[in-house]
A and B are shown apart, each in its own frame.
Chain A
Amino acid sequence: MDEKPTRRVALKVLGATLGAAAFERALSPLRELSEITSVGDFMQKHYRELSRDEMNAVLRRLEDETQQRYGREVTIRDVRPTEGVQFAYALNLSVCIGCRRCVDACHVENNHDRPTHQSYIRVLEMTSGSMDMEQGNTGYDHTVPAEGKFYMPVQCQQCENPPCTKVCPVEATWQEPDGIVVVDYNWCIGCRYCEAACPYHARRFNWHKPEIPAAEINPDQSYLSNRIRPQGVVEKCTFCLHRTREGRLPACLEACPTGARVFGNVLDPNSDIRWVLENKRVFVLKEELGTRPRFFYFFDV
């Protein structure tokens, strides 16, 4: 009777070993993780916890990783906001013709995934006389502007009361002093709760590692905006903060052939954006939700 339990135990140990080996084998694709992450990435602190020196070390590491993974030398900067600047954006719906040049400019400027033609902007073709998005359509592919239609580009509204930052369980997304809502792509865990919370379809998730040929990469990059995003994290429009925080206009505005877009510092009483807000009858999308967007729409007259 003494031998039987021993044999049983031996069989159990054998079974457990086989089981463990099988699980090890099943999980072996995880070895590929080295292609999308690194030890430095794993150990990295939250963006707001980094000292200047640590930040610089992170930027150099990210530049190296971009070189290795995408074969392109890029500059990644940490562009910080300027005191006394709060951004706002306005869009003239009477003038927009729905040509999607802004969509394309965003795609190029922000190093978006090429196969999915990703962009932070979607343009809704709306029916004249109605603000009902249910009658809107983003898939139009005909000469524009079409008769009886107007066009409404939608991107991140940079809400003053953003529902997306509230829900993030790890503070990977927050509002900066100049009003721009940013994401720390190296802190996001990819739960996509923010995507569910956003009422404007402004957030995008990297369902796979972004693909972009070396020659098409925009090498002027910043940590919080247009650097090539890692797989499995959420991203969003940042009003091109790598440009705008240095005084330049956002890429979507420069691409607009009709001048439907107005951008600037809302704290500057002489700015164009202030003039629009004070003299045009502006409105915001889904005002009833209390999100207080910094993105305004208006019609002429």
Chain B
Amino acid sequence: MAHSGVPHHLSYPRFLLKVLDRATDGTWRFYAWMFVLTAIALVGANTWAWQVARGMAVTAMSDHVSWGLYIANFTFAVGLAAGGVMMVIPAYLYHDEDMHDVVIIGELLSVAAIVMALGFVVVDLGRPDRFWHMIPGLGKFHWPVSMLTWDVIVLNGYLAINLHVCGYLVYTRYRGERPDPRWYLPFVFLSIIWAISIHTVTAFLYSGLGGRPFWNSALLAPRFLASAFVTGPAFIILSLQLVRRFTAFKVPEGAIRRLLDILRVAALVNLFMLAAELFTHFYTGGHHAAAVRYLWLGMHGHHELVPWMWTSITLNLGAVAVLLTPSLRERRVVINTALVAIFAAVWIEKGMGLIVPGFVPSTLHELVPYAPSIAEWKVTAGVWALGLMVFTVALKVGLQAMTGELRAPGAQADLAVEAKEVA
């Protein structure tokens, strides 16, 4: 531990410089990928700037459907962030060795997904220039009454916790030191509870509104969590395989297997709750079923969301069937296709399929449909691109720290042994 003698105020700036250097270094593939993402983010930023200047009339939202694609993606991104915890729980609560090696990927995904979630909130604001009104002490923070203020706290808190845990681990690896459990383990356990809270609070945003029967269900928060534990692991499993393919990092097969197990259970629970919700609505009938009827069957000649929902349920059921078939377990391509399918299915179900029917029919039972405008798609793509950029760079730096490539001059080389000790 030759480096541990260097005081932090000298070593930390050097560390940051090194991180910056590594984050911007890579193969042609890396540069091409980042170039494409930057281009998309630029289109998104430009469209968003127009939206701020000219007004949100460039979106397809209206006083009837006052939230749309942005808030749908916000909800989905929060789920993705919460889903990362499904690596943390096996790694730290069940001491799953394989998972422990790659747990940082889940934490970094949480960071990127929270950045996206916050991005989607910002692009949905009519007056982002007044963002400071929400800063406690400076503006007027309507806490604890407004659920949105709770969401601001839990999302930023979750971001801070994960940044701290990842940052601390990467920094100690850089210095060639052994991470002090007192400095990160409490935060890891806090992040587990916190992950549940971010998606619960986000569900409460909607389920607390008595005037919107479609959302006004106690099952919303559990459903959110179940679907988050589908999308999170699905995204991570796919990422792990990409990491294995494009980097020197060793991805243990056990981690992928464990995540698939979690996903199978979560997908079934998610489907079960969806069925319970659908039964309650359709069997009861009446006004409370109006939104669900519109969503799944169409109403008064309007069928805008019907193809989306049937696509979603088909993908979902198909993916679950594949994932539960023992003979297909070793067919990686089939499994991966199923993962992409279930990811897309939940994106539809939880995005457009959850936000839009809250507004259709409206509170005066007017049926005004909504389909996102080109501008909304561009901005949405931009925020996704931003999220993927954050994820790519974070993964790059994080994994290099894990393999020992990101190391202070003179710091101890072999860390793999030590990592096991810490676990």
Contact = CB atoms under 8 A, between A and B. Distances in A.
Within 8 Å by CB, do A and B touch in the complex?
yes
Interface of A: 8-9, 12, 15-16, 19, 22-23, 25-33, 35-37, 42, 46, 122, 124, 132-134, 136, 138, 154, 163, 166-172, 187-193, 195-201, 203-209, 230-234, 286, 289-291
Contact of A27 (B49, B67, B141, B152): B49
Contacts of A204: 63
B149 A169 contact: yes
B139 interface: yes
A37 B52 CA distance: 11
Interface in B118-145: 121, 124-131, 133-134, 139-142, 145
A124 B365 CA distance: 10
Given A27-B49, A209-B55, A189 B134 contact: yes
Interface in B133-188: 133-134, 139-142, 145-149, 152
B100 interface: no
23 contacts: A16-B24, A19-B38, A22-B42, A26-B43, A29-B46, A30-B49, A31-B53, A33-B52, A133-B365, A154-B364, A169-B148, A170-B133, A170-B139, A170-B140, A191-B121, A193-B205, A196-B359, A201-B64, A203-B63, A205-B66, A208-B55, A209-B55, A286-B211
Contact of A232 (B49, B127, B133): B127
B146 to A, nearest CB: 5
A12 B20 CA distance: 10
A205 B56 contact: yes
Contacts of B43: 26
Given A33-B53, A167-B148, A196-B359, A134 B38 contact: no
A32 B53 contact: yes
Residue of A15, A209, A231 ringed by the most chain B CB atoms within 10 A: A231
B364 A138 contact: yes
Contacts of B46: 25-27, 29
Nearest to A138: B366
Contacts, number: 182
Nearest to B121: A191
Interface string B354-365: 000011011111
Contacts of A134: 287, 290, 361, 365
B211 A190 contact: no
A279 B55 CA distance: 48
A163 B210 contact: yes
Given A167-B146, A192-B67, A208 B364 contact: no
Contacts of B50: 29
Given A189-B133, A286-B211, A29 B49 contact: yes
Residue of A166, A203, A290, A291 ringed by the most chain B CB atoms within 10 A: A166
Contacts of B56: 190, 205, 207-208, 232
A295 B20 CA distance: 61
A170 B365 contact: no
Contacts of B62: 207
B388 to A, nearest CB: 16
A191 B124 contact: yes
A193 B359 CA distance: 12
